[in-house]
């Protein structure tokens, strides 16, 4: 990385960002306490939400792979906020029509956000921000999806796979499924979805 | 997710409903959304994409690039 032409605080910021090491694989991660803790934390969430059942796969079925992804969450000043491990399904091994159907899901438009903020500024409205923890885990899935047992954590005997009961990160249908569920909840609360931006709800 | 409006009671109601439906946490006032830092004072709202841009530049390894006023070569002869 080169930092030529940057101001001192920015050089500092860039160096801080690139000085943290992020493990590539689960075996490397398990060697560090902070990363194993992060893995444990994620496993607890997955178990608590009953994402899968372990079953013995008898007949030939398509199995989706999975992997651990590690990241460091930074605060705005680039100091460490938390170590995060996430189990993701390898969505790219899914086949359209077999283990997923539609995938499109809208994303908030920046223009809408700006209009909203300017309204809040001019009319002196309070602004609140909410975050849904593990947004993707909330939708029960319709399709039959089988996934490999996460590596490095559960000791696996041959033939045992995870039958997904709920949606996991990385699955093709996830963003769409989550958004469908969210907009349903908003409509239940009496909100109307805007026609010009589907991620904008009004009441 | 950003929530705003002039009806505090309604905001509270929505918040309660969403907490029931989803595992949700309130991040309090809006500080950071979509890569945009938000600062608020009585006189207005200030938006900054500093972190967003720095993260992007780090990702593509272009931290040493120069800022440009015009995103094209100047005085270029066309044809």
Quote the ipTM score: 0.70
What is the average pLDDT score of chain B? 83
- Indicate if the pLDDT at residue A72 is higher than 70: yes
* Mutation site for A-interface testing, chosen from B6, B14, B27, B60 by largest number of A Cβ within 10 Å: B14
On whether the CB atoms of residues A82 and A95 are closer than 8 A, the answer is no
Task: Say if B53 is an interface residue toward chain A (CB within 8 Å).
Answer: no
Measured from the Cβ of residue B35, the count of other Cβ atoms closer than 10 Å reads 13
- Indicate if the pLDDT at residue A136 is higher than 60: no
User: What is the arithmetic mean of pLDDT over B34-50?
Assistant: 84
Distance from CA of A157 to the nearest CA of B (A): 33
Residue A68 has what DSSP assignment?
A: E
Question: How do residues A140-177 score in pLDDT, each as one tens digit?
Answer: 677 788 888 887 666 566 778 888 888 788 888 888 88
Q: In percent, how much of chain A has pLDDT > 70?
A: 91
Residue B50 three-state SS:
helix
Question: How do residues A7-66 score in pLDDT, each as one tens digit?
Answer: 777 777 777 777 778 888 777 888 888 888 888 888 888 888 788 888 887 777 788 888
pLDDT at A152: 62
Biggest distance spanned by C-alpha atoms of chain B: 64
pLDDT at A156: 60
Question: How do residues B20-38 score in pLDDT, each as one tens digit?
Answer: 777 777 777 788 787 788 8
**Cα–Cα distance list, B34 to A72, A105, A188, B52 (Å):** 18, 16, 26, 8
The model carries a pTM of: 0.68
Q: Taking the domains of chain B in order of start, what are their residue ranges?
A: 8-60
Contact list, B29 vs chain A (CB under 8 Å): 126-129
pLDDT at A160: 81
What is the average pLDDT score of chain A? 81
Residue B77 has what DSSP assignment?
A: P
Q: Do A133 and B37 touch (CB under 8 A)?
A: no
| Axis-axis angle for helices B50-60, A8-19 (nearest 10) | 60
On whether the CB atoms of residues A161 and A55 are closer than 8 A, the answer is yes
């Amino acid at each position: 990385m080169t930092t030529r032409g940057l101001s001192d605080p920015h050089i500092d910021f860039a160096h801080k960002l690139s000085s943290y090491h992020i493990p590539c694989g689960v075996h490397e991660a398990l060697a560090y306490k902070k990363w194993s803790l992060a893995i444990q934390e994620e496993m607890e969430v997955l178990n608590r939400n009953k994402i899968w059942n372990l079953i013995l796969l008898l007949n030939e079925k398509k199995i989706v792979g999975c992997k651990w992804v590690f990241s460091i969450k930074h605060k705005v000043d680039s100091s460490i906020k938390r170590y995060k491990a996430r189990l993701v399904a390898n969505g790219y091994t899914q086949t359209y029509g077999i283990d997923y159907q539609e995938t499109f899901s809208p994303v908030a438009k920046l223009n809408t956000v700006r209009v909203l903020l300017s309204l809040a500024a001019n009319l002196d409205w309070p602004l609140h921000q909410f975050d849904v923890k593990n947004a993707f885990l909330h939708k029960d899935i319709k399709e039959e999806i089988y996934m490999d047992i996460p590596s490095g954590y559960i000791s696996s005997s041959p033939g045992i796979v995870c039958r997904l009961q709920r949606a996991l990160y990385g699955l093709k249908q996830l963003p769409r499924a989550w958004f469908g569920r969210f907009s349903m909840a908003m409509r239940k609360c009496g909100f109307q979805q805007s026609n010009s931006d589907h991620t904008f709800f009004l009441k | 997710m950003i929530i705003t409006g002039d009806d505090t009671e309604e905001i509270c109601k929505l918040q309660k409903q969403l907490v029931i439906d989803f595992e949700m946490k309130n991040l309090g006032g809006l500080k950071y959304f979509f890569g945009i830092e938000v600062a608020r004072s009585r006189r207005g709202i200030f938006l900054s994409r500093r972190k967003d841009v720095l993260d992007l530049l780090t990702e593509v390894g272009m931290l040493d690039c120069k800022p440009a006023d015009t995103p094209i070569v100047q005085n270029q002869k066309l044809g």
